Amino acid sequence: MKPLLVVDSPKRWELHVQGAELVSAYRYLSDDALAQGPGRKVFNLCRSFRYQASGYYVSLLAEARGHRPLPSVASIQDLKLAPVLKLASQDLDELMQTSLRRIRSDTFELSVYFGRNLASAHDRLALAVFNAFPAPLLRVRFERETRWRLAGIRFLGLADVPDSHRDFVAQQAERYLKRAPRRNKAVPPAKYDLAILHSPSDPMPPSSPKALKKFIKAGAELGIRCELIEKDAYGRVAEYDALFIRDTTYVNHYTYRFSRRAAAEGMVVIDDPKSIVRCTNKVFLAETLARHRVATPKTLILAKENAAEGIRSLGLPCVVKQPDSAFSAGVLRLDEESELTPTLNKLFEGSDLLIAQEYVPTDFDWRIGVLGGKPLYACRYGMAEGHWQIVKRDHEGTHEGGFETLPLDQVEPRVLKLAVRAANLMGDGLYGVDLKVVRGKPVVIEVNDNPNIDAGVEDAALGDALYLRVMQHFFWKLEAR
């Protein structure tokens, strides 16, 4: 079905876009014929997006009808949140300084029409703004003190566009409609579309290129069309039915914003926003595991005021962790009293709280993959040679220990049971639970979102069936919506 361009009054604000139908907001909201066609694109060009205005209802009802509105209700709400603008300003910082360096005044407004600006010199900045706040028409205000910053942004209606810009808007709308790659007609149509967010430049990605290909193949077997996307595809997230994050996750990071937006759009998401928040912060993790009496090594949450006393109560050696540490980075072992003050001072520069844990040396760590509340795979990761962690970093690079992947029926049931119990406290997504067996008893070290699934490692026991199980989880979640 033809995409719809929805405006307040087609008679007053004409826009001729090849391949699209221009309709009024009133007609879109009241005409049953326009409510048909799941997946139909709806470009909302109304003037007001305030709560309960017609522009707001166009996007709201489009989502209820299974259409794909631009902007979405989630994007409309995002513009009202100062923290979202602040994060976007940080993400756009380098591009702002480059694109606006020749501007002499200390304020500048940029009109963004379907991701483009009339001045091609600002196209990269316009596209980045569009990806951060996907909407057909935007006006962005920048201010400069010592550096340029994003000072404000608002959606435009077609009525806000100068007559001299109308032809350009129509051209960009046509370009935007044509940009999606045409599906190969020889390939059977897929029931669902799934985006896999990844970063080719990540030195330690959660899934290798070979593993990503296996996910894509497994999805195709179930009628799920998988597409690899990168961080510049934020504006396209709502085009998919599900999002699978295979990029290292952090809270103050584009991965979290992708997850949050996908969840707000009603998509099936791994890793979901709650899991990212819970698993990437070891303070939350320590408090949750303690409250639910999950077996762990002795663990303390440290503030500056009690840090030294707390570590002495644990005894040396002990392990100190930054709350958002990952891949063994930001995790230090204290062996001597003399290391205490300088190490703590350095770590407290980045966080008001730290985690201290008793040191429990073992030859290997268990990693139990858990998906939807059930064990998925089991690996034993060995310590890096001459080191106390599974990953060692030095001037020569990154070194990892060996691994052994076991069938689940060869793993002690109590190890699997404890891993599932810990993972279930985080959610019902995909997790990697790290455990040690200390004095014959399994204890949880931490629960990770975004766990590694690499070809030849985590799939060594199940083979391609591992990837199929992950895609089956997506399929079942999509069917249950």
Tell me what pLDDT residue 206 has: 95
Nearest Cα residue to 93 out of 145, 43, 41, 150: 150
> Could you tell me whether strands 41-44 and 21-24 are parallel, antiparallel, or unpaired per DSSP bridges?
unpaired
Q: In the structure encoding, which two tokens stand for residue 471, read together?
A: 């895609």
Is the separation of the CB atoms in 451 and 432 below 8 Å?
A: yes
What are 400-455's pLDDT values in tens digits? Answer: 667 899 999 999 999 999 999 999 999 999 999 999 999 899 999 999 999 999 99
Stretch 120-124: mean pLDDT: 91
Q: In angstroms, rounded to a whole number, what is the distance separating the alpha carbons of residues 89 and 144?
A: 12
**What Cα–Cα distance (Å) separates residue 423 from each residue in 150, 237, 360, 373?**
39, 27, 21, 7
Length of the chain in terms of residues written: 481
Count CB-CB contacts under 10 A for residue 317: 14
Is the separation of the CB atoms in 28 and 4 below 8 Å?
A: yes
Q: In angstroms, rounded to a whole number, what is the distance separating the alpha carbons of residues 276 and 267?
A: 16
Helices (H), 150-306: 166-178, 209-221, 254-264, 273-279, 282-291
Q: In the structure encoding, which two tokens stand for residue 230, read together?
A: 């990168």
Stretch 76-82: mean pLDDT: 80
Helices (H), 110-165: 123-132
What are 158-177's pLDDT values in tens digits? Answer: 889 998 999 999 999 999 88
Average pLDDT taken over every residue of the chain:
88
Q: In angstroms, rounded to a whole number, what is the distance separating the alpha carbons of residues 421 and 138?
A: 47
Query: 103-117, 202-216, 387-401: which range is least confident on average?
Result: 387-401
> Could you tell me whether strands 4-7 and 41-44 are parallel, antiparallel, or unpaired per DSSP bridges?
parallel
Count CB-CB contacts under 10 A for residue 358: 17
Query: Is the N-terminal amide bond of 271 cis, ω within 30° of 0?
Result: yes
Question: Which has more pLDDT, 54 or 447?
Answer: 447
CB hemisphere CA count around 391 (13 angstroms)? 12
Quick one: pLDDT band at residue 245, thresholds 50, 70, 90?
Answer: very high
Stretch 318-336: mean pLDDT: 78
What are 328-357's pLDDT values in tens digits? Answer: 567 888 888 888 888 888 888 888 889 899
> Could you tell me whether strands 397-400 and 391-394 are parallel, antiparallel, or unpaired per DSSP bridges?
antiparallel
Tell me what pLDDT residue 265 has: 82
> Could you tell me whether strands 430-438 and 364-371 are parallel, antiparallel, or unpaired per DSSP bridges?
antiparallel
Domain 192-271 has CATH 3.30.465.10: no
Q: In the structure encoding, which two tokens stand for residue 156, read together?
A: 């435009």
Stretch 468-474: mean pLDDT: 98
Nearest Cα residue to 254 out of 414, 91, 446, 461: 91
Report the predicted TM-score, pTM, of the whole model to 2 decimal places: 0.75
Tell me what pLDDT residue 183 has: 47
Topology given in CATH for the domain delimited by 298-358: Dna Ligase; domain 1 (3.30.1490)
Stretch 10-21: mean pLDDT: 83
Residue 467's Cβ-count burial label (10 Å; 0-12, 13-18, 19+) is buried
Instruction: State residue 168 phi and psi, 5-degree precision.
Output: -65, -40
Is the separation of the CB atoms in 54 and 30 below 8 Å?
A: no
Tell me what pLDDT residue 378 has: 96
Q: Does position 361 have pLDDT exceeding 80, yes or no?
A: yes
Domain 364-480 has CATH 3.30.470.20: yes
Calculate the CA dihedral of residues 334, 340, 343, 349 and round it to 10 degrees.
130
> Could you tell me whether strands 268-270 and 299-303 are parallel, antiparallel, or unpaired per DSSP bridges?
unpaired
Stretch 20-29: mean pLDDT: 92
Q: What are the domain boundaries of the chain?
A: 1-180, 192-271, 298-358, 364-480
397 CB-near residues (< 8 Å, 6+ apart): none
Stretch 220-243: mean pLDDT: 91
State the distance between the two ends of the chain, measured CA to CA, in whole angstroms.
23
Q: Does position 153 have pLDDT exceeding 70, yes or no?
A: yes
Q: In angstroms, rounded to a whole number, what is the distance separating the alpha carbons of residues 20 and 417?
A: 55
